[in-house]
Amino acid sequence: MLRCPVPSLLVVLTAILTVCPSGSAASVEPPVRTPVTAGDLLRMRTIREVVIDPEARFAIVSIESFDSKGDSDAGPEERRRPGDHEIRRHLHRVDLQDRNPSLIPLTFGDRRDGSPRISPDGSRLAFIRQAVSGGEDDEKPQVWVLPLNGGGEARPITRFEHGVSGAEWSPDGRHLLVETRWNLSDLIEADGPPVWDAGRPGRLASEHAVEPDPDGTVEEVRAWLDANTDDRTPKLVNRLGYLGERAVEETWRPRQLMLVDREGEEEPIRLGKGVVDRRSGVFTVDGRSVVLVTTGGEQHPDLTLDSRLEIIDLETPDVARPLFDEDGWRVSDPQSGPDGSLIAFVAQRTDEPAYRGRQIGLVPASGGEPIWATSGEWTSVSSYRWGHEPATVLFTARRHGGVPFFTASPATLQPVESNRLREGLPAQVHGFDVGRDTTIWIESSAGAPSTLRVLDETGERLVFDPNPWIATREIARPTEDWITRPDGSQVQSWLLPPNGLLPGETAPLILAIHGGPMSMWGPAEPTMWLEWQLAAAWGYGVVYANPRGSSGYGERFQRGNHQNWGAGPAGDCLAALDAATERAWVDPDRLVVTGGSYGGYLTAWIIAHDHRFKAAVAQRGVYDLATFFGEGNAYQLVEWAFGGYPHDPRFAAMLDRESPVRHAARIETPLLVLHGEDDRRTGVSQSGMLFRALKVQGRPVEYVLYPGAGHDLSRSGDPVTRMDRLVRILEFFTRFAPPDETRLPSVSPEPGGEVGLEKGI
């Protein structure tokens, strides 16, 4: 293929971000700065989503904040308690034609509003609203529509039993395509039984209805048992993927696509037939058809990773035609091209799901072979949009500690990367949209965990910073390093110094390890931003690396931890630590280590094989791979990463060898084990196994379980519980590797000051 000229907007983007990385040339007197505190978590506001009006006149953003409950406005003298604060999300409008815009609140109250979608003419906003508490008895999330011109109240237009998880406007703005879940029994009643086995050995459904009776005939006894399981007392599990994030989900509820009118008055129309899973629907440009992703058919969707791209003509809503259906591929996120001739989609090979990159394909709307705009070998697509130039897509991907923009088209040999630096360090794009000649995106950087930026014909500018209070805080900046390992691989790492370090002073150092194991950390990692800044405020430095198995460095590097979760990645992290200890300010006698999820696994592995650390904190980790296979909903990682299962003699010994709990006799380092009681991703019992293995040996170990917390405690859990986790880790470190006393908090943190606004482990 011939290389076409780089799109003009990309040239502008690259030039601006390279020459003017700060986004502002203004010079101001530096403010008086104070250390970051744990209470600053309650001040934090995060831009979660952004969509742009097709004419680029305005944008809608979803902003997450932590607000106190009405009866829990604790004063400075009262301690904060878990449950005092709630996570809320509200929608705001920003005028992009105003060079100094203000955000206009559109939604309020005890709600979480998200997934905003602007109608094609810009007159209405559809969004998904759910209750704050999120309990089983709460109303399920539904689609609401809010008039944007002339005022008016938002009102719900769907009332689906199991709520909704997505909505898209039709090109004429008269309908929305809504994704919801159906009861399996209802789908079977409507379309007939599937061809795959229902999973009840030796048991077929009765053809005749009988009265339930535990003392009756066999048929009546079976009816009584079925009635009990229908009430989930007990729960009958007959599917492989029966674990959700925090609860048992013994019944599969297929996703279905429903066509609803914008007023919510007409009977919804289901698209497609059969007991399959249908999702991610979008309209074609002419509005006559819907393109969607389908899983299942010949076998239960729990038993396959493959999926296919289909198209349904609205004149025949029961009939689905394949657009891309090849064995060994899973697809997602279809988007119709601007002129309607092409459908873009994301695809990933399923032969090595832990290592393969996500790539963009373009298929004719009339059907045919796809054209691959990217390969997954070096770039794995995070999100994408059709670009400003013909047949061009703009996408983001993890790359060397950042998440930059790329552009690609069938005419380019390789995607073109824009230099995404902010203050000289890689930044990360977390969501973006394109409208007319404008690109708008959510960005995190080393200096700001969440900002809204826009690029148009006039250049790039900062639109909104939801956390201006950060300008009053002391912020540490990391430095980059690359280490060459004995096998020739290159490992990138980052070193964050403590705040206020004077010449000749030394400080303790935290080795921090990411999860996944296919995650990637950089200086702009928003999930760790406050945590690392708090450590710097307490007087700790932080070093973190992206060891083999991390994403952002190509498929080969990501495959580097295959059947080697312990020694190889541990060596990479320790090499980064060795390089960091060469700095004069690092005290090699005050080293500590921590990590979460897979990072918890590697923390336990490291302290079983290296005794230089004064203390360690293992968080929500996997410690026994055989047990993880049985109790974690991410159990597939065992087969993906090691090639087999614990019950297979060919792999049992290797899985034992790679399990940290099997090396617990070697652990001497004081260890704090943290875990959520409702964590179904890794399971809970392994943390107890590790604790008990150390406790019976008389080793220094402490075990903390967080009630009601799932695996994502540190990212989406109760705000005050998250504060507890932050300071509990640092307090544990101070027992064994304390910083200088002048660095430690000497007074209680100031009040939070509420502000009004692929599965890994």
Tens of pLDDT, residue by residue over 188-228, are 999 998 988 767 788 766 556 899 999 999 999 999 999 99
Tens of pLDDT, residue by residue over 453-476, are 999 999 999 999 999 999 999 999
Residue 299: count other Cβ atoms within 10 Å of its Cβ.
Answer: 14
Tens of pLDDT, residue by residue over 560-575, are 999 999 999 999 999 9
Residue 378 predicted with pLDDT over 80: yes
The H or E element that residue 720 is part of is helix 719-736
Q: In what order do the strands lie in the sheet with 416-417?
A: 381-386, 393-397, 405-408, 416-417
Query: What is the structure's pLDDT at 430?
Result: 95
Which comes out higher in pLDDT, residue 6 or 168?
A: 168
Query: What is the structure's pLDDT at 21?
Result: 37
Using pLDDT thresholds of 50, 70 and 90, give the confidence band for residue 651: very high
* DSSP count for the chain of H helices, then E strands: 13, 38
Query: What is the structure's pLDDT at 753?
Result: 36
Residue 538 predicted with pLDDT over 90: yes
Residue 11 predicted with pLDDT over 90: no
Q: Which DSSP symbol is given to 46? A: E
Alpha-carbon distance of 585 to 606, in angstroms, equals 24
Residue 43 CB-half CA count within 13 A: 20
Alpha-carbon distance of 684 to 620, in angstroms, equals 8
**Interval 709-723 mean pLDDT:** 93
Tens of pLDDT, residue by residue over 41-92, are 999 999 999 999 999 999 999 999 999 875 544 554 466 888 889 999 999 9
Q: Residue 417: helix, strand or coil by DSSP?
A: strand
Residues 6 or more apart whose CB falls under 8 angstroms from that of 420 comprise: 17, 402, 403, 404, 405, 426, 427, 428, 429
Tell me the pTM.
0.92
**HEC profile of 700-712:** CEEEEEECCCCCC
